[in-house]
Amino acid sequence: MFTHLHNHFIGSFSDSALRIDEAVKKAKSLGQNAIAITEHGEMPFMYEFSDACKKYGVKPIFGVEIYFVDDAQKSIEKRDKNRFHLVLLAKNDEGYKNLVSLVSDSWLFNNYYERRGLVDWKLLEKYHEGLIASSACFFNQISQAYIKNGLPDAEKIFIKYKEIFGNDFYVEIAKHGITDEEISNKGLLELAKKYNVTPIATNDVHYLEIDDWLAHDIIIKTRFDKISSFKIDSHHFWLKSEKEMFDAGMPQEFLDNTQKIVAKCEFVLNDFEQVPYENTGSEDVEIKKGNAAYLSQLEFISSSKAIYYAENIIGKNHPDVVHYAERITGIPRKSSQNPNKIAYLPGIKEKIPLKISLGKIITQFTEDSCCRAGASIQPLVRSTLAEALLAAKKVLKKIIE
C-alpha cells in the first residue's frame, strides 16, 4: 500500500494548484489510507485539511516542508539566498506542538527579509522531539552536496540528520524523469544502505491530474507579479495512484515503506475551548500612541508621485498579472489576512503558527481555524490598536523568555 507523504496544496501560495478537498477525495478513491499536508514553510489550512480527511475517511498527517540552512542568522546577514528543503511530520501531540513552535520561531527570529522563515540546526535540535524527518525533493541539503561535491560531503550532513532524528529519519525517492533527481537518488540510496535508513516513495505533489500541469505552470510563471520564463523540467507532479508510481520505476518496497510512517503518525487535530477576551483597560495616552503607530505605517503619495503613477501605470494599462492568473486557474495566489481583526490566545505560538509580514505579526491560520484553536477574535480599530499592541508585546515577551 502507498501513501502520499509530500504534498503541496493551495497553502503553498504561488506554487500549487492542488485543492484540499479534491486531493483527499481522490486519495480515497485510489484506495490510499492516509495523506499528508506539507506546505512550504507555513502551516495554513490545517483545520480545513483535517475536516476533509474526516469527510472522506482518510487519515490526516500534519507536516511542513521547511526552508533549511546551516546558520539562519549568518544567511540573513550575508543575504544568502541559498536554502534547502526538509519535510517534517508530526507523530503525536508533542510533535505538532514542536512543529508549530518551530515554524513560528523561524518567522519571528529567522525571518529572511519577510520572504520566508529559516530553520537551522539550532532550531531543529530544539524542536525535533515527536517529529519525523524525510529528506524532501532533490533540493535537500544532502542531495545538493552529493551532486556538487560528492559522497563525503553529503555523508557528513546525512549523519547529522540521523543523529537528531534516529529511526525517524527517512530518505525520499522520487521518479520525475529529472537528471539531477536520478543522481540524488543514487547518493541517497547508497547512504541509506550504509546507515540503515529506510527509503520511502514520494511524488512532491503540486496538482491533481496529469493535465493540471498547465495551471501550475501559469501560477509559477506569474508568482512574482510579472510574467517570468521559469521552467520546471517535468510534468509528473500530479497525485498519482500506486500503479502510476510503480510504472514510473518506483520499487514496490519503497511504496510499501510509506506505511511505516503512517503507523507512527497518531496526532489528531482537535478543537479547543475558546479563551474569552479580557479587556486590558488601556489608558488614553496609550491609545494616542497606538493611533500614532498606525498612522506611521501608512504611506502617503506625494502629488508628483501620484501623477507619475497615473501616467505610467494606469495610463499604460499594465496587465494585472496576479489577478488574471487567479481568474484563469481559480487558485488563490496569496494569503489573505484581515488587517482589522486580531487573535488573542495565551501561549498562542504553541497552537497557532505566527509569522512576520510587512513588519506585522500575523497568523497563518484562517479566522475560523484560530477560533477552533481556542483563540478569541476581536475587531482591531484605531481606538483599540494600542491595546492590541500591548497584548502582542506581552505574548512576544513570553515567547522570547
| pLDDT attached to residue 382 | 47
pLDDT at 320: 52
Q: How far apart are CA 123 and CA 127, in angstroms?
A: 6
Contact call for residues 36 and 5 (beta carbons, < 8 A): yes
pLDDT confidence tier of residue 222, bands split at 50, 70 and 90: confident
pLDDT in tens, 346-379: 778 889 999 887 777 888 898 999 999 999 887 7
- The amino acid that residue 301 corresponds to is I
As a whole number, mean pLDDT of residues 305-316 equals 55
Q: Which residues on adjacent β-strands are paired with residue 208?
A: none
- State the angle between helix axes of 179-194 and 151-165 in degrees (0 to 180), rounded to the nearest 10: 60
Q: What interhelical angle do 151-165 and 141-149 show, nearest 10?
A: 160
Predicted confidence band at 383 (pLDDT cuts at 50, 70, 90)?
very low
Per DSSP, 211 falls in state: G
Q: Is the pLDDT of residue 283 over 50?
A: no
Element (H, E) at 343: strand 341-344
Do residues 142 and 157 touch, judged by C-beta distance below 8 A? yes
Among the four given CATH numbers 3.20.20.140, 3.40.630.10, 3.40.140.10, 2.60.15.10, the one describing domain 20-264: 3.20.20.140
For 98-120, what is the mean pLDDT? 94
Question: pLDDT for 38-95, tens place per residue?
Answer: 999 999 999 999 999 999 999 999 999 999 999 999 999 999 999 999 999 999 999 9
pLDDT of residue 386: 52
* pTM metric for this prediction: 0.84
Query: Domain segments of the chain: what residues?
Result: 20-264, 284-400
Predicted confidence at residue 232, as pLDDT, reads 80
Query: For the chain, how are helix, strand and coil distributed in percent, rounded to 5?
Result: 45, 15, 35
φ, ψ (nearest 5 deg) of residue 110? -120, 45
HSE, CB side, 13 Å, CA atoms: give it for residue 380: 22
Cα torsion through 279, 285, 290, 293, rounded to 10: -160
Half-sphere exposure of 371 (CA within 13 A, CB side): 7
Q: How confident is the model at residue 287 (pLDDT cuts 50, 70, 90)?
A: low
Whether pLDDT at 316 is above 80: no
DSSP 133-181: EE--STTSHHHHHHHHH-HHHHHHHHHHHHHHHGGGEEEEE--SS-HHH
Q: Which residues pair with 172 in a beta bridge?
A: 200
Contact 100, 267 (CB under 8 A): no
